[in-house]
């Protein structure tokens, strides 16, 4: 199927999405720092040394989830405006020459091809951890 | 109306519809079963064997069974704007629920005297309703297996 959008538009959309991801990553970092420094009050045991790791690990996952939610909302608006999902690196024909992005794309390709194995490994690791630590 | 019926009859719509119905039934059933349930930290203690349990083996097995189910013939309508928007909307709602769950979990971990953590509630539910808990985990693994093994470009995709 031929994509009606030109390559320039696709690349511009990809760049805008990457910029949003950087802003959201900064939000995640700022949210965690605010929790560590006590600007965000989660509860009285937030600064208890025996609970610190558990509370802030949970807060970290909360901020990650918030970042993903905002990115999903942004993609929802993008789909509504453009009538297509935001382009992935696979739809951009030119392979990046960036020293960071090139190996990252290779990892992405491997993960996409073997995601069932990655998922199975995650499921089995989760089952073992759940069985070991929560006696499930 | 016929158009809606035709759409629902297509196999790609049947699986999500069954999952949604299953989720709705389980949510209502759990609400009836546990409404007003007085949580106490002293839920029945669960014991753990050193070896993998039958339940854990069943869940892992369901993941691989999900891969086999995807080999059954099915029609796919192809991507269209409504489907894309619907899928993204579903993903957004799902991610929102996860964010709310982590917000609650973090508050519960920092306020253990006032709020039970989700992990504690899950263990309580498991201790009280072992069979239903196992069924939910098996269905979840089945869905994950069906989805992961058959993504475009993957092993069977």
- Going from the first residue of chain B to its last (157 residues), give the mean pLDDT of each consecutive group of 10, the final group possibly shorter: 59 66 79 69 60 75 80 62 85 94 93 84 78 86 78 52
pLDDT for position B152: 56
pTM of the model: 0.72
Interface size A-B, in CB pairs within 8 Å, comes to 124
- How far is residue A15's CA from residue B22's CA, in Å, rounded to a whole number? 40
> Using one digit for the tens of pLDDT, what is the confidence trace for A37-77?
989 999 998 888 888 888 999 999 999 999 999 999 999 99
Q: Which residues of B touch A68 (CB under 8 A)?
A: 95, 98-99
Q: Which residues of B touch A131 (CB under 8 A)?
A: 48, 52-53, 56
Segment A115-119 mean pLDDT: 78
CA distance B51 to chain A (A): 9
- How far is residue A54's CA from residue A109's CA, in Å, rounded to a whole number? 34
pLDDT for position B56: 75
Question: Which chain B residue lies closest to A46 (C-alpha atoms)?
Answer: B110
B98/A65 touch (CB, cutoff 8 Å), yes or no: yes
> Using one digit for the tens of pLDDT, what is the confidence trace for A2-39?
455 577 888 888 889 889 999 999 999 999 999 999 89
User: Is residue B97 helix, strand or coil?
Assistant: helix
CA distance between the termini of chain A? 48
Q: What is the ipTM of this complex?
A: 0.78
Q: Which two tokens stand for residue B26?
A: 């389980």
Residue A126: closest CA among A113, A136, A115: A136
Spatial contact of A10 and A49, defined as CB atoms under 8 Å apart: no
- How far is residue A108's CA from residue B118's CA, in Å, rounded to a whole number? 33
B129 phi/psi in degrees, rounded to 5? -135, 70
Spatial contact of B102 and B23, defined as CB atoms under 8 Å apart: no
pLDDT for position B84: 82
- How far is residue B145's CA from residue A93's CA, in Å, rounded to a whole number? 31
């Amino acid at each position: 199927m031929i994509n009606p959008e030109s390559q320039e538009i696709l690349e511009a959309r990809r760049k805008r999405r990457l910029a949003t991801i950087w802003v959201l990553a900064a939000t995640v970092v700022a949210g965690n720092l605010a929790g560590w420094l006590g600007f965000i009050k989660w509860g009285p045991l937030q600064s208890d040394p025996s609970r610190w790791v558990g509370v802030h690990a949970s807060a970290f996952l909360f901020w990650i989830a918030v970042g993903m939610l905002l990115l999903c909302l942004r993609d929802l608006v993008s789909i509504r405006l453009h009538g297509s999902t935001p382009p992935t690196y696979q739809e951009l024909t030119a392979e990046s020459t960036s020293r960071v992005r090139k190996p990252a794309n290779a990892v992405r390709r491997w993960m996409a091809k073997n995601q069932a194995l990655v998922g199975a490994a995650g499921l089995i690791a989760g089952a073992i951890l759940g069985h070991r630590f929560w006696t499930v | 109306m016929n158009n809606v019926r035709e759409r629902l009859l297509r196999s790609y719509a049947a699986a999500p519809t069954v999952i949604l119905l299953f989720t709705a039934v389980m949510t209502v059933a759990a609400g009836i079963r546990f409404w007003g349930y007085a949580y106490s930290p002293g839920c029945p203690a669960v014991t753990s064997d050193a070896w993998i349990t039958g339940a854990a083996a069943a869940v892992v097995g369901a993941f691989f069974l999900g891969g086999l189910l995807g080999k059954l013939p099915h029609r796919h309508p192809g991507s269209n704007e409504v489907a894309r928007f619907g899928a993204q909307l579903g993903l957004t709602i799902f991610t929102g629920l996860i964010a709310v769950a982590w917000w609650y979990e973090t508050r519960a971990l920092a306020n253990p005297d006032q709020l039970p953590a989700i992990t504690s509630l899950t263990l309580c539910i498991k201790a009280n309703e072992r069979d239903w808990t196992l069924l939910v985990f098996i269905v979840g693994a089945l869905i994950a297996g069906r989805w992961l093994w058959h993504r475009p470009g993957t092993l069977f995709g």
